[in-house]
């Protein structure tokens, strides 16, 4: 329990809120900002002046059509090419690095296939090389204000250490520290569970912009989850919250990489779907393509593929019903390979939901595919990396600018 904020706290809050507004919703006039933020025009002017001086926004004439007659109102626009973050996605089959500008603009990206037998040293080498080539191409004077990695496993929040990542055969890896040191940009690198980042991304820029209670389910080889409750990412005590893939939906069922049996991941993951469909993992072929093949075959009338999807859909339905009962969410979003599986097994999932969830809770819940497609993790990593500068814009910039002209 703490007393109210000081004037300095309020100024910091207001600077962050204004910057966040143009970051998430795009350029806005002072009038729009005053109305949306509930602040008066003179306060907006003062805040904008501070953010402009710090190089975070600029004011300019509105672009394009729709300008009315008379003196046009200036719009406040984020300095997207000058203020950026590095976003990393580590998938089982792919690695992506992107330079994302304030405003959420992907300025540049490098993407590569990850071999399923590569080790952590390879992983770090590829990520660092990709990031360096992006940083070199940034415009002169541009500032990197944060970096974050999305990873399919459990990550301890206190020190960005991967605790458990069976699908990449990685455990107890201080990925955040290692990347930060190798990059040498003087910024920490956060590491987060990929599905947690997917939930954040869909909440801030995707299917869940208007939903404060949503669940994001992500399929890669395994199944991950991210939960937004009361508008906030649910982390739990140590950052492991949202491990929906290890909810046991079928006690005594298929063995899971975690050591348990009948986890959602074990019953609906890529390998199980392939096994049900009588197909084998093809070395070198990303799992997502294999899943899409099965959905396409089912659509084309292949009975084995259709039955495989139905079996997986039933267990996914039990998982969804449980989540609806536990969270009373407004929205459930399917991403990664679960996007394809949902499209192929929606009827099955809805049928289990109709009997397995309480009427009151299931009545208004919407099931949707990820609006950000294959980039949920990457967009989430960028948003996570921006969090600090949005919370305290001037402090972060002052800190970054202190070691003047340090070589990158």
| Sites of contact with a second copy (CB under 8 A) | 1-5, 9-11, 13-14, 17-18, 20-21, 24, 36-39, 43, 154, 156, 163-164, 211-213, 225, 227, 229-230, 232, 234-244, 246-251, 258-260, 318, 321-322, 325-330, 355-361, 364-365
Residue 4 or 70: the one with the smaller Cβ distance to a second copy is 4
Cα–Cα distance, 91 to 176 (Å, whole number): 16
As measured in angstroms, the least distance from the Cβ of 24 to a second copy is 8
Q: Name the residue nearer to a second copy (CB basis): 77 or 246.
A: 246
Show Cβ contacts of residue 230 under 8 Å, excluding neighbours closer than 6 positions: 212, 213
Query: Which three-class secondary structure state does DSSP give residue 249?
Result: coil
> Which string of DSSP letters, residue by residue, matches 25-76?
H--EEHHHHHHHHT--HHHHHHHHHHHHHTTSEEEEPPPSS-PPSSSPPPEE
Minimum distance, C-beta of residue 286 to a second copy, in the bound complex (Å): 26
Nearest approach, Cβ of residue 230 and a second copy (Å): 6
Q: Tell me how far, at minimum, the Cβ of 331 lies from a second copy, in Å.
A: 9
Using DSSP bridges, classify how beta strands 331-336 and 366-369 pair: parallel, antiparallel or unpaired: parallel
Of 186 and 231, which CB lies nearer to a second copy in the complex structure?
231
Q: Which two tokens mark 385? A: 């990396």
Q: How crowded is residue 408: how many other Cβ atoms within 10 Å of its Cβ?
A: 12
Do residues 277 and 310 make contact, with C-beta atoms less than 8 angstroms apart? no
Compare residues 55 and 253 and give the one whose CB is closer to a second copy: 253
Q: Kindly state the smallest distance separating residue 398's Cβ from a second copy, in Å.
A: 20
Angle at 11 between CA 8 and CA 13, to 5 degrees: 110
Three-class SS state of 302: coil
| Residue among 75 and 244 whose Cβ is closer to a second copy | 244
Cβ closest to a second copy, residue 211 vs residue 272: 211
Q: How far is the CB of 343 from a second copy (least distance, A)?
A: 24
CB 212 → a second copy: shortest distance, Å? 8
Question: Two tokens at 399?
Answer: 């800190």
CA angle 318, 324, 327 (to 5 degrees): 135
- Least Å distance, CB 379 to a second copy, is 19
Strand spans (E) along 83-205: 83-90, 94-101, 105-113, 143-151, 154-156, 161-164, 189-193
Between 38 and 141, name the residue whose CB sits nearer to a second copy.
Answer: 38
8-state DSSP, 100: E
Closer CB to a second copy, residue 2 or residue 71? 2
């Amino acid at each position: 329990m703490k007393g109210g904020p000081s004037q300095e706290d309020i100024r910091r809050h207001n600077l962050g809120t204004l910057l966040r507004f143009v970051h998430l919703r795009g350029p806005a006039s002072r009038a729009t900002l005053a109305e949306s933020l509930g602040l008066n025009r003179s306060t907006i002017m003062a805040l904008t002046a501070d953010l402009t001086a710090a190089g975070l926004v600029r004011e300019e004439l509105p672009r394009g059509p729709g300008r009315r007659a008379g003196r046009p109102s200036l719009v406040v626009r984020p300095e997207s090419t000058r203020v950026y973050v590095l976003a990393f996605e580590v998938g089982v089959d792919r690695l992506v690095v992107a330079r994302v500008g304030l405003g959420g603009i992907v300025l540049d990206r490098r993407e590569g296939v990850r071999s399923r037998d590569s080790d952590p040293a390879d992983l770090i080498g590829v990520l660092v090389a990709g990031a360096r080539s992006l940083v070199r191409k940034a415009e002169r004077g541009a500032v990197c204000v944060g970096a974050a990695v999305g990873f399919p496993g459990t990550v301890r929040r206190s020190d960005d250490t991967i605790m458990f990542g069976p699908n990449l055969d990685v455990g107890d890896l201080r990925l955040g520290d290692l990347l930060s040191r190798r990059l040498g940009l003087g910024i920490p690198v956060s590491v987060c569970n990929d599905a947690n980042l997917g939930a954040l991304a869909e909440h801030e820029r995707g299917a869940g912009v208007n939903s404060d209670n949503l669940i994001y389910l992500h399929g890669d080889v395994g199944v991950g989850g991210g939960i937004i409750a009361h508008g906030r990412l649910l982390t739990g005590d140590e950052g492991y919250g949202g491990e929906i893939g290890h909810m046991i939906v079928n006690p005594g069922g298929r063995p899971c990489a975690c050591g348990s049996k009948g986890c959602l991941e074990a019953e609906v993951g890529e390998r199980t779907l392939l096994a049900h469909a009588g197909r084998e993992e093809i070395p070198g072929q990303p799992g997502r393509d294999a899943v899409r093949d099965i959905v396409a075959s089912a659509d084309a009338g292949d009975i084995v593929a259709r039955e495989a999807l139905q079996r997986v859909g039933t267990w996914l339905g039990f998982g969804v019903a449980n989540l609806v009962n536990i969270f009373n969410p407004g929205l459930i979003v399917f991403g990664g390979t679960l996007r394809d599986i949902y499209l192929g097994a929606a009827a099955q999932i809805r049928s289990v939901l109709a009997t397995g969830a309480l009427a009151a809770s299931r009545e208004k819940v919407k099931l949707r595919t990820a609006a950000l497609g294959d980039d949920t993790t990457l967009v989430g990593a960028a948003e996570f990396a921006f969090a600090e500068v949005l919370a305290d814009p001037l402090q972060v910039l002052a800190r970054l600018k202190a070691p003047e002209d340090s070589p990158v």
